[in-house]
């Protein structure tokens, strides 16, 4: 990751990025990194109060953007419409600045003022607390949580676990964060019986997988629209189970058989919802600690 950072930023952060979940560059403001829910300042390779941190310069922003885009920002205009760029390894860079518009809406961003480099983590057995729920077979499952609660990490581990049971799994990796494929080859271990679609919409992905790949289960990340739920329910009616994540704090009423609401506050357990059609709820039997997921030692 460090080779995507401006040299001065790299010098400030040093090895701290290895345990961080985000690196944030804000023009004219302190350089920060995030460990789980806490954002901290950085100065000379150590954590400090945000007000005492290194101040990000215009050169830091431009040099980092040049490294990320290989000095060809315009070539990434389609990605910039969406407000982020993808890096190898499932890492995502959020970008804000001044918007340039054309007749189709947002054209791209210019005068970039902030970068948020989200560092993907692959944690084996992150979803071990969920494994017993699949002893009787696959279930339509929804994982819900706020930003940074581990939704994608748990989704990826569940895919890997279920592939280990030799289910045929189709993955719709819209932003390349689940499998982090490069030229079709996943860089994360997601199992042997998994077929991956990268860079397509949920609707397109479901249609392609249902037509051609005969999956037992289709997995995807960050659903958020009624159309997503409709196509997923259609797949379920065709006998294909669905595994997905939802960005939020409450599980929507839907066809899902198992819901898991990840908590964003340290020390809280996840909340399981079984049989959403009947609205029966029950708390998790086992504690779920983020210290089991992340190497930082914080519990959530």
Residue boundaries of the structural domains of the chain: 2-118, 128-292
Calculate mean pLDDT across residues 163-184: 91
Q: Where are the alpha helices (DSSP H) in the chain?
A: 7-13, 58-69, 77-82, 151-164, 202-212, 226-237
Domain 2-118 architecture? 2-Layer Sandwich (3.30)
Calculate mean pLDDT across residues 191-212: 94
Is 16 within 8 Å of 45 (Cβ atoms)? yes
pLDDT score recorded for residue 109:
65
Residue 151 has pLDDT above 50, yes or no: yes
292 class by beta-carbon count within 10 Å (0-12 exposed, 13-18 middle, 19+ buried): middle
Question: What is the rounded average pLDDT for all residues in the chain?
Answer: 84
Calculate mean pLDDT across residues 185-211: 93
Question: Between residues 162 and 3, which one has the greater pLDDT?
Answer: 162
The tens digit of pLDDT for each residue in 111-133 reads: 889 999 998 888 889 898 899 88
Region of 137 on the Ramachandran plot (φ > 0 left; ψ -120 to 50 alpha; else beta): left
The tens digit of pLDDT for each residue in 62-117 reads: 999 999 988 777 667 777 777 788 888 888 899 988 877 766 665 566 788 999 99
Question: Between residues 248 and 297, which one has the greater pLDDT?
Answer: 248
Question: Between residues 231 and 290, which one has the greater pLDDT?
Answer: 231
Residue 298 has pLDDT above 80, yes or no: no
CATH for 128-292 is 3.40.50.300
């Amino acid at each position: 990751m460090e080779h995507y950072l401006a040299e001065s930023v790299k010098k400030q952060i040093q090895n701290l990025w290895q345990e961080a979940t985000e690196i944030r560059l804000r023009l004219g403001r302190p350089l920060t990194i995030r460990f789980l829910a806490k954002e901290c300042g950085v100065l000379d390779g150590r954590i400090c109060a945000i007000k005492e941190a290194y101040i990000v310069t215009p050169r830091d922003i431009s040099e980092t953007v040049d490294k990320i885009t290989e000095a060809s920002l315009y070539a990434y205009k389609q990605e910039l419409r969406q407000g982020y760029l993808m890096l190898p390894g499932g890492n995502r860079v959020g970008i804000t600045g001044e918007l340039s518009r054309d007749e189709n809406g947002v054209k791209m961003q210019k005068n970039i003022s902030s970068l948020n480099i989200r560092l993907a983590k692959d944690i084996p057995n992150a979803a071990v607390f969920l494994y017993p729920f699949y002893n009787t077979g696959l279930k339509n499952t929804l994982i819900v949580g706020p930003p940074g609660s581990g939704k994608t990490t748990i989704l990826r581990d569940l895919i890997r676990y279920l592939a280990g049971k030799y289910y045929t799994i189709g993955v719709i990796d819209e932003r390349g964060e689940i499998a982090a494929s490069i030229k079709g080859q996943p860089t994360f271990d997601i199992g042997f019986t998994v077929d991956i679609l990268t860079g397509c919409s949920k609707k397109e992905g479901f249609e392609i997988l249902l037509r051609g790949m005969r999956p037992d289960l289709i997995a995807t990340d960050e659903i958020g629209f009624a159309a997503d739920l409709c196509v997923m329910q259609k797949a379920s009616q065709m006998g294909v189970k669905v595994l997905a994540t939802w960005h939020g704090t409450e599980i929507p009423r839907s066809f899902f058989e198992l819901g898991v609401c990840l908590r964003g506050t340290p020390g809280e357990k996840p909340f399981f919802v079984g049989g959403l059609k009947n609205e029966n709820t029950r708390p998790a039997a086992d504690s779920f600690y983020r210290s089991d997921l992340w190497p930082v030692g914080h519990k959530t």
